[in-house]
Every structure is written in C-alpha cells, then in structure tokens.
Amino acid sequence: MNGAESLVRTLVNAGVEVCFTNPGTSEMHFVAALDRVAGMRCVLGLFEGVVTGAADGYARMKDKPASTLLHLGPGLGNGLANLHNARKAQTPIVNIVGDHATYHVEHDAPLTADVEGIAWPVSAWVRTSRDARSVAADGAEAVAAASAAPGQVATLILPANTAWEESDGPADKAPVPAPPQVDEARIQSVAAVLRSGEPTVILAAGRVLRAEGLALGGAIAAASGARLIAQMSNSRLARGAGRVSIDRVPYPVDQALAMLEGIRHIVLVGAKAPVAFFAYPDKPSLLWPENCAVHTLAEAHEDTLHALAWLAEELSVSKDSALLQPLALPPLPADGPLDIDSIACAVGALLPENAIVADEAIGSGRGMHPFTLGAQPHDWLQICGGAIGLGLPMATGAAVACPDRKVIGLQADGSAMYTVQALWTQAREGLDVTTVLFANRAYASLKHELFNVGARNPGRKALDMLEIGRPDLDWVSLARGMGVEAGRATTNAEFVRELRAGLASEGPYLIEAVI
C-alpha cells in the first residue's frame, strides 16, 4: 500500500467521510487511492475557494471535519480566504495539500512555493510528511488537531513521493482531548455578577447557540434579569419556533453602542468581547461602555455547555424555564415591487421546517432577523471572517452534510461572483439548495462605508468601483450555464412563485431577485 492509500484509509478510520477536491499532478496518487477505498465521498470544486468554503459549511453542520485536496502552494493560496473564514468560525477542516517530491523541491520548478508559509496564517496545525511511512500517523494527528475544541484548520502537506512510495498501512484514529471544564471560581464570580442585579449582557457564541445552550442561557438570563445576546457573526445559530430567540450585536457601530449602552457587566460564554468590524474616524473600536466590566465564564476551547449548566445549578435556575419563541409566521407580501423587506417576509413565511440558511446577503440581509424570528425552526450560518465569497460554497457544503434538509442561500450578487463555480458543484451533486440572489447590481454596503469613513461626494471613478452593473449580470443564464435551474423575479408575486418553485424542487434552484 502506498502512502496516499494509507492516508485515505486513515482519514476514513478517523471518521472523515468527504473530500472536497481540486487536484493536480502532485495529488494523482491520492486521487487514485480514492477509487480503492470505500467510505470517502469525493466532491469536485472548480475553484479552491469553493473547495475550502464547502468544507467549512459541511463541518458546521456535521460537527466533524471534511478533508480538502489542494494543489501545492497556489492551490492552497486560492482557497485561503475561505480558510480564513473557517478559522474565524472555528470550523474543523483537514487540508491535504500535495507538494513536489522531496528531492524535486531544490530545483525550483514552476509550482515550487513555500507551502507551509502559505498554510500557517490560517492553520492551527501544519506538518509536511517526511516519508511514506509517516503519512498515516500524520493524517491521524491532523484529524485530531482539527477536531480539538472548538475546531480548527489543520494542514497536512504531502510531497508526491511520500504518496507513491511504500507505507506501513493506515493508522488508527488518534484521541481527541475533551474540552477542559472551567473551575468553580469562575462559576462563583459570574454567579455573583448575575446576583448583583446590575445591567448585564451574556454574550454567547459557538455551541451555546444550539437549541440546548440557548435554552440554558435563556433560562439564566430570564431568572437573573440579564440579556442573552449572540456575537455579530456566528458559525451556526439555532433559530425559529421552539428556540430561545436572541439578538446579535449589530454591525453598524452606532447601533451596537446603543445596544450595549448602560451595561455594567458583559459575561462571555465562548464569545469574544465585542469590537467594531472596522475603525471609523471619531468612533470607538471597543463596543462596550468604559465602566463596564468584562468577565469570562468559559472560553471557546473550554466546555461552555458544562459551564452554563453549572452556573444554572449554582443560581438554582431550571433549564426548562427559558421562554421559547412561538411559531409566528409573517404574512406573504402583497403584490408590488420587490424589495429586501418583502423578500424577507416571503422567506420567513415559507422557510421549511429544519431548513439551513447560508447567509451571505450582506447589506440586503440586515432586515431578515425580525421576519424570520418566528419562522419554522432552522439553523442560520454566517460568514465569521468578513471575507466575502463564502455563501455559495458554504451552502454547497451544508447540503452535502445534510441531504435531508433544505438549504436556503441568501446571497448578495457581488459576493456570489467570487465563488460562483459552486453552482456547478450543486448541479453535479444534485444538492437541494435554493439560492435567493439579491441582484442590486452594486457593492451597496461599500457605498455606505464610503460615507461612514468620511470620504464624501464620490465622483464617477469612485462610484464605478462600487457598482457592478454595466453590464448587468444575467444570473438566470449564469445559473443555467452551470446546470442550475433558475428564474427571475421583479415583483413580490413573481418572487413568491419562484421561491415556491425552488422549495418544491429537490435539486439546486436560483432566484434572481432584482431589487
């Protein structure tokens, strides 16, 4: 058995079931090994940003890593922005990156690059396999490193000769350490804060934002008079009927400051203290008031759910006492010209039970929250690293992970163009994704930002950098050209009809919503 096959078998032993790939010559032995090993689904992406973004969406829904297969430094580099997003989302991913044979590197052939140097900024674990006999153990360690709480990117670089030379066979799954539990002192000090009755926010992230954690956090908040809030951007948030509804820290600095005004304590549960997305002239970077103390109940790598359960016990709060959101569907919008509110209304009304929402709606999505609050129960996935071009791949990966759930992509047009090839993967794999494409023909949020940073009165040249019409993108043709059925909507009635068609279809569907 060669090194490549020993690696594929090791990955399967460790529970890795999917490999999102975009291979080249140096990965051919890995590709060939995929044929010989059962248990690994292979999904081709036509650009590496699709591959890495899909691996992110997959792992958020499966709570375990997929692997990627990438071609040397340039292939990894093409996938970097979405690996950055995955790092910020604390998503487990195992990258397998092919490289030149160890003895070939010194000749500086065209594709020779500093692969480790490209990998490190987005990876918590990087290793280049020394020889074919090390590959299997390295692979097992890569999966364990990726799976360590809260989840991280691990990158294993595979020189071509380590893939084709003789190995010692596959390795067993390596143990993954359990997340450490917080000590009693932390529980006691946070309990004292909550007993004080002073205005307090509990800021939650990660696993706390699943139904169980929200119920615990919601019960503690209700009993203590604190407010439970989620971070601005979250990897996966359980929402809708039957869940504890929570707000997120808003993106606009003034709105975030208003939300936290008068707060004396912030208790972090797997979250980071809230900071502005960007610095702006005359606005603060830190979003909490000066006289507000920040306390940590549990860090992201710690057992946040255990800490919350312990805190509830300490405060004698029953975990079943949280107020749950009742089903409250918005009415379907009356016919008229389409806008972002009528789209939000229709999505809230028609969202199927157990749907997964992949949100890269950017400016067009900021009003979605109230219209979907009381929708059928669903999971909401966001970009956590601010690098646009994640939405379509993330929806693709989530659909690979959950074939029995409907995926709804809320997708801004400018962002969609970064990784538009994901539509082809959706078609090839027959994935159940309905994409609502907000065709505003602009980088609309950048127009606001131009104003926010103090650059006023933009001229034609500046505006041309912020508008993406001329020519308008024809999304129906783009989607159909990649095998995805599509329709266009310019009115509310057309949009509702298109959304119903998308939801009724079992494969990918794209709605160009012209706004």
Interacting residue with ligand TPP among 5, 445, 479, 511 (CB under 6 A): 445
- Least Å distance, CB 357 to ligand TPP, is 16
Q: Are 376 and 437 in contact (CB under 8 A)?
A: no
Asked whether position 413 contacts ligand TPP by CB under 6 A, the answer is yes
Tokens of 498: 């298109």
Which span (54-62, 205-213, 356-364, 484-492) binds ligand TPP, by CB under 6 A?
356-364
Sequence-separated (6 or more) residues with CB below 8 Å from residue 197: 224, 225
> CA dihedral in degrees (118, 120, 126, 129; nearest 10)?
30
Asked whether position 446 contacts ligand TPP by CB under 6 A, the answer is yes
Q: State which of positions 134-153 bind ligand TPP (CB under 6 A).
A: none
Q: Are 379 and 419 in contact (CB under 8 A)?
A: no
- Least Å distance, CB 461 to ligand TPP, is 16
Distance CA 446, CA 227 (A): 32
Q: State which of positions 81-100 bind ligand TPP (CB under 6 A).
A: 81
Judged by beta carbon, residue 49 or residue 218, the one nearer ligand TPP is 49
Judged by beta carbon, residue 380 or residue 443, the one nearer ligand TPP is 443
- Least Å distance, CB 402 to ligand TPP, is 25
Type of residue found at 126: V
Judged by beta carbon, residue 299 or residue 360, the one nearer ligand TPP is 360
Judged by beta carbon, residue 308 or residue 362, the one nearer ligand TPP is 362
Type of residue found at 142: A
Judged by beta carbon, residue 42 or residue 446, the one nearer ligand TPP is 446
Judged by beta carbon, residue 252 or residue 377, the one nearer ligand TPP is 252
Judged by beta carbon, residue 53 or residue 151, the one nearer ligand TPP is 53
Q: How far is C-alpha 491 from the chain's CA centre?
A: 31
- Least Å distance, CB 433 to ligand TPP, is 18
Q: Are 194 and 260 in contact (CB under 8 A)?
A: no
Q: State which of positions 222-251 bind ligand TPP (CB under 6 A).
A: none
What is the pairing mode between strands 227-230 and 200-204?
parallel
- Least Å distance, CB 361 to ligand TPP, is 7
Q: State which of positions 358-397 bind ligand TPP (CB under 6 A).
A: 362-364, 386-389
- Least Å distance, CB 409 to ligand TPP, is 12
Sequence-separated (6 or more) residues with CB below 8 Å from residue 402: 61, 356
- Least Å distance, CB 420 to ligand TPP, is 12
**φ/ψ (deg, to 5) at 459:** -95, -175
Which span (56-64, 93-101, 290-298, 437-445) binds ligand TPP, by CB under 6 A?
437-445
Q: Which of 176, 175, 172 lies closest to 10 in space, CA to CA?
A: 172
Asked whether position 414 contacts ligand TPP by CB under 6 A, the answer is yes
**Per residue in 392-413, is it b (16+ CB within 10 Å) or e — as a string?**
bbbbbbbbbbbeebbbbbbbbb
Q: State which of positions 29-88 bind ligand TPP (CB under 6 A).
A: 81
Distance CA 216, CA 144 (A): 29
Distance CA 29, CA 10 (A): 15
Judged by beta carbon, residue 304 or residue 364, the one nearer ligand TPP is 364
Strand, helix or coil at 314? helix
Which span (91-99, 181-189, 413-421, 451-459) binds ligand TPP, by CB under 6 A?
413-421
Judged by beta carbon, residue 377 or residue 386, the one nearer ligand TPP is 386
Tokens of 372: 């979907």
The number of beta carbons lying within 10 Å of the beta carbon of residue 344 is 24
Judged by beta carbon, residue 81 or residue 292, the one nearer ligand TPP is 81
Interacting residue with ligand TPP among 442, 493, 501, 503 (CB under 6 A): 442
Judged by beta carbon, residue 81 or residue 144, the one nearer ligand TPP is 81
Judged by beta carbon, residue 351 or residue 362, the one nearer ligand TPP is 362
What is the pairing mode between strands 265-269 and 247-248?
unpaired
Q: Are 57 and 84 in contact (CB under 8 A)?
A: no
Cis peptide before 471 (omega within 30 of 0): yes
Type of residue found at 226: A
Residue 239 sits at the vertex; the CA angle it makes with 235 and 245, to the nearest 5 degrees, is: 110
Burial of 332 (0-12, 13-18, 19+ CB in 10 A): middle
Q: Which residue is nearest to ligand TPP (CB)?
A: 414
The number of beta carbons lying within 10 Å of the beta carbon of residue 1 is 16
Asked whether position 252 contacts ligand TPP by CB under 6 A, the answer is no
Asked whether position 467 contacts ligand TPP by CB under 6 A, the answer is no
Q: Residues in contact with ligand TPP, total (CB under 6 A)?
A: 18
Judged by beta carbon, residue 331 or residue 471, the one nearer ligand TPP is 471
- Least Å distance, CB 503 to ligand TPP, is 23
In order of 358, 360, 498, 505, the CA distances from 237 in angstroms are 11, 14, 26, 25
Which span (38-46, 203-211, 340-348, 439-447) binds ligand TPP, by CB under 6 A?
439-447
How many helices and strands, by DSSP H and E, does the chain display? 21, 18
Residue ranges binding ligand TPP (CB under 6 A):
81, 362-364, 386-389, 412-415, 440, 442-446
